[in-house]
Amino acid sequence: DGGITQSPKYLFRKEGQNVTLSCEQNLNHDAMYWYRQDPGQGLRLIYYSQIVNDFQKGDIAEGYSVSREKKESFPLTVTSAQKNPTAFYLCASSQGVNQPQHFGDGTRLSIL
């Protein structure tokens, strides 16, 4: 079945540590997204990529970095510069920017 796979499901970060969240899709979609979801708030866009080797910052990119070396993969690194990283992180993809997004089942990141 085609879909988006996020791993790990749960992740714990120590002070000063960088952590990387994985996102892989087999839908052959060009566009991929990373969102952060906090209780009582709408999804907020961290980064967007429309094509391999190209990506744009969203509303809350500070303290995060991404790469897009392959069409299928869009990993997100939460750096030590992100002072409030505890959240539910969602990866999505779409066939085009006007099309609905397909989401993975998220990674919940917590501070140790």
Partner 1 sequence: EDQVTQSPEALRLQEGESSSLNCSYTVSGLRGLFWYRQDPGKGPEFLFTLYSAGEEKEKERLKATLTKKESFLHITAPKPEDSATYLCAALPNTGGFKTIFGAGTRLFVKA
Q: Where do contacts with partner 1 occur on this chain (CB under 8 A)?
A: 4, 6, 31, 35, 40-45, 48, 50, 56, 58-59, 90, 92, 97-106, 108
**Tokens 């779409």 sit at which residue?**
94
Nearest approach, Cβ of 41 to partner 1 (angstroms)? Answer: 6
Shortest distance (Å) from residue 7 CB to partner 1: 13
In Å, how far from its chain's centre is CA 41?
17
DSSP letters for 27-78: S--SEEEEEEE-TTS--EEEEEEEETTEEEE-TT-TTEEE--SBTTB--EEE
Cβ proximity to partner 1: between 58 and 80 the closer is 58
Residue 83 CB, shortest distance to partner 1, in Å, is 23
